[in-house]
Amino acid sequence: AQSVTQLGSHVSVSEGALVLLRCNYSSSVPPYLFWYVQYPNQGLQLLLKYTSAATLVKGINGFEAEFKKSETSFHLTKPSAHMSDAAEYFCAVRVSGNTGKLIFGQGTTLQVKP
Protein backbone atom coordinates (compact mmCIF):
# COMPACT_ATOMS: atom_id res chain seq x y z
CA ALA A 1 0.00 0.00 0.00
CA GLN A 2 1.15 3.51 -0.76
CA SER A 3 1.44 6.33 1.75
CA VAL A 4 3.10 9.69 2.17
CA THR A 5 4.40 11.46 5.24
CA GLN A 6 5.04 15.17 5.40
CA LEU A 7 7.54 16.13 8.06
CA GLY A 8 6.59 19.32 9.83
CA SER A 9 3.02 20.56 9.94
CA HIS A 10 4.21 24.18 10.07
CA VAL A 11 7.22 25.76 8.39
CA SER A 12 8.11 29.41 8.82
CA VAL A 13 10.64 31.23 6.64
CA SER A 14 11.59 34.82 6.02
CA GLU A 15 10.84 36.43 2.70
CA GLY A 16 13.73 35.69 0.34
CA ALA A 17 14.85 32.61 2.25
CA LEU A 18 14.97 29.04 0.96
CA VAL A 19 11.78 27.03 1.24
CA LEU A 20 12.09 23.31 1.99
CA LEU A 21 9.00 21.19 2.54
CA ARG A 22 9.63 17.53 3.22
CA CYS A 23 7.75 14.53 1.86
CA ASN A 24 8.61 10.86 2.22
CA TYR A 25 6.67 8.15 0.47
CA SER A 26 6.11 4.45 0.87
CA SER A 27 5.36 2.37 -2.18
CA SER A 28 6.09 -1.15 -3.33
CA VAL A 29 5.90 -0.05 -6.95
CA PRO A 30 7.42 2.96 -8.74
CA PRO A 31 5.39 5.84 -7.35
CA TYR A 32 3.52 8.61 -9.07
CA LEU A 33 4.02 11.65 -6.83
CA PHE A 34 2.45 15.09 -6.78
CA TRP A 35 2.67 18.35 -4.89
CA TYR A 36 -0.41 20.54 -4.52
CA VAL A 37 -0.90 23.99 -2.99
CA GLN A 38 -4.05 25.20 -1.27
CA TYR A 39 -4.68 28.87 -0.64
CA PRO A 40 -7.25 29.87 2.01
CA ASN A 41 -10.81 28.99 1.09
CA GLN A 42 -9.80 27.46 -2.22
CA GLY A 43 -9.33 24.03 -3.71
CA LEU A 44 -6.03 22.35 -4.49
CA GLN A 45 -3.84 23.53 -7.34
CA LEU A 46 -1.21 21.29 -8.90
CA LEU A 47 2.33 22.55 -8.35
CA LEU A 48 4.21 19.72 -10.01
CA LYS A 49 4.26 16.00 -10.64
CA TYR A 50 6.93 13.34 -10.86
CA THR A 51 7.03 11.80 -14.33
CA SER A 52 10.01 9.41 -13.99
CA ALA A 53 11.61 11.15 -16.97
CA ALA A 54 13.76 13.25 -14.65
CA THR A 55 14.45 13.18 -10.95
CA LEU A 56 14.37 16.97 -10.67
CA VAL A 57 10.93 18.27 -11.48
CA LYS A 58 10.15 21.92 -12.08
CA GLY A 59 6.73 23.28 -11.29
CA ILE A 60 4.85 26.52 -11.25
CA ASN A 61 5.69 29.61 -9.20
CA GLY A 62 9.40 28.72 -9.05
CA PHE A 63 8.95 25.51 -7.08
CA GLU A 64 10.79 22.30 -7.81
CA ALA A 65 11.07 18.87 -6.26
CA GLU A 66 13.68 16.16 -6.41
CA PHE A 67 12.80 12.49 -6.46
CA LYS A 68 15.30 10.41 -4.47
CA LYS A 69 14.55 6.73 -4.61
CA SER A 70 17.29 5.79 -2.14
CA GLU A 71 15.74 8.11 0.44
CA THR A 72 12.12 7.55 -0.65
CA SER A 73 11.75 11.30 -0.65
CA PHE A 74 10.18 13.95 -2.85
CA HIS A 75 10.98 17.21 -1.08
CA LEU A 76 9.67 20.52 -2.40
CA THR A 77 11.97 23.52 -2.62
CA LYS A 78 12.00 27.12 -3.74
CA PRO A 79 15.17 29.22 -3.65
CA SER A 80 13.55 32.45 -2.50
CA ALA A 81 10.23 32.68 -0.68
CA HIS A 82 7.65 35.31 -1.53
CA MET A 83 4.86 36.50 0.71
CA SER A 84 2.41 35.07 -1.81
CA ASP A 85 3.79 31.56 -1.17
CA ALA A 86 2.07 31.43 2.23
CA ALA A 87 -0.38 28.53 1.89
CA GLU A 88 -0.96 24.89 2.72
CA TYR A 89 1.10 22.37 0.75
CA PHE A 90 0.17 18.74 0.21
CA CYS A 91 2.25 15.86 -1.07
CA ALA A 92 0.33 13.00 -2.65
CA VAL A 93 0.95 9.54 -4.10
CA ARG A 94 -1.23 7.72 -6.59
CA VAL A 95 -2.69 4.43 -5.42
CA SER A 96 -1.73 1.55 -7.70
CA GLY A 97 -4.51 0.10 -9.82
CA ASN A 98 -7.00 1.83 -12.07
CA THR A 99 -8.94 3.92 -9.57
CA GLY A 100 -6.71 6.94 -10.00
CA LYS A 101 -7.04 7.74 -6.31
CA LEU A 102 -4.49 9.94 -4.60
CA ILE A 103 -3.46 9.54 -0.99
CA PHE A 104 -2.47 12.83 0.59
CA GLY A 105 -0.06 13.70 3.33
CA GLN A 106 -1.10 15.67 6.36
CA GLY A 107 -0.15 18.95 4.79
CA THR A 108 2.41 21.60 5.70
CA THR A 109 1.45 25.18 6.38
CA LEU A 110 4.05 27.58 5.03
CA GLN A 111 4.30 30.94 6.76
CA VAL A 112 6.40 33.66 5.12
CA LYS A 113 7.56 36.47 7.37
CA PRO A 114 8.41 39.91 5.98
Give the residues lining the site for another protein (CB under 8 A): 9, 32, 34, 36, 41-46, 49-52, 90, 94, 98-107, 109
CB-wise, 50 or 63, nearer to another protein? 50
Output 62 or 107, the one with its CB closest to another protein.
107
As measured in angstroms, the least distance from the Cβ of 78 to another protein is 19
Closer by beta carbon to another protein, 17 or else 95:
95
68 and 92 in contact (C-beta within 8 Å)? no
Nearest Cα to Cα of residue 2 among 37, 21, 30: 30
Q: Cα separations (Å) of 39 from 42, 51, 86?
A: 6, 25, 8
CB of 102 to another protein, least distance (A): 6
Give min distance, CB of 48 to another protein, in A. 9
Query: Do 74 and 50 touch, CB atoms closer than 8 A?
Result: yes
Calculate ∠ Cα 51-57-59, nearest 5°.
Answer: 110
Q: Which is nearer to another protein, 18 or 46 (CB)?
A: 46
